[in-house]
Structure 1
Amino acid sequence: MPHLALEYSSNARDPFDAAVVFAEIHTALAVAGGFRLQDFKSRAVRMDSYAIGDGSREQSFVNLDVRTFAGKSPQTRAAIAETALAVLTRAFARTLRETSCDISVQITELDRASYARTRSGEQPGTATAA
């Protein structure tokens, strides 16, 4: 944990290199949120089908959902969001300049009791709550 899910509209102007952007976000959030680098699981999805407001193609969006277990203080959650937002603002700078763009970050807290996983090397059927 954490899981990062990044969605962005297909009219984003910046060339997007997920490996570069996630490397920067992982490093920054490890400090801001107290995460271990090896625990990040991140993915990015370019959204070709979407609607914003009146449908103008000059409107764009970037949204990062940071999914982590509950228990971080409000100050830590705010630091995570602001840190990720700063990285995304740099990564999508041209899109911010050339379109009406909203970049947002949200923290989704997961309930440990309702989360299960299994890992490589574990015996089948030994999924554990994390």
Structure 2
Amino acid sequence: MPHMTVEYTNNLQGLNEAALMEQLNAAVCEHPTVTDEADVKTRIACLSNYRIGLNNAGRAFAHVELRLMAGRTAEVKKELSERIAAVLKRVIPAQEGLQVQLSVDIVDMDKPSYFKGKL
């Protein structure tokens, strides 16, 4: 933990996935509540099957879910959400004729049921 999942629609042309993940990881790892940068695990998925409202034409989205061990304060979650949103705004290219919705969700993970091990 933390686990970060990025989903974005395939009509976001020119999105540099590697740069996005690198900057997202940096934004999260630099937060004082993250004590080990190796704990931050990020994955990204480009979606070809999606629906936005009633008509996909001219619409796109990028969504980040950050899953954290339960116990962080609302203030810490807000700070992390704002850091992630700033990266999305900076890295995702604007495209003429395309309305891009950006969203971030911070989710608590249940400590008793979470397993983490190493091989």
Q: Which residue number corresponds to residue 104 of structure 2?
A: 105
Structure showing greater relative contact order (alpha-carbon pairs closer than 8 Å, 6 or more residues apart): 2
Maintained 8 Å contact 1:33/1:76: no
Distance of 2:57 and 2:12 partners within structure 1: 10
Q: Which residue number corresponds to residue 70 of structure 1?
A: 70
Structure 1: any 5+ residue segments left out of the alignment?
121-130
Q: Which runs of 4+ in 1 moved over 4 A?
A: none
Maintained 8 Å contact 2:3/2:41: yes
Structure 2: any 5+ residue segments left out of the alignment?
none
Task: Please say if 1:79 is aligned against 2:60.
Answer: no
| Structure with greater Cα Rg | 1
Distance of 2:105 and 2:118 partners within structure 1: 27
Distance of 1:72 and 1:33 partners within structure 2: 12
RMSD of aligned alpha carbons: 1.5
**Aligned sequence identity (%):** 25
Distance of 1:72 and 1:118 partners within structure 2: 22
Task: Please say if 1:21 is aligned against 2:20.
Answer: yes
CA deviation after TM superposition for structure 1 residue 33, in Å: 5.4
User: TM (normalized to structure 2)?
Assistant: 0.90
Maintained 8 Å contact 2:5/2:66: yes
* Matched AA of 2:71: G
Larger helix percent: 1
Task: Please say if 1:51 is aligned against 2:46.
Answer: no
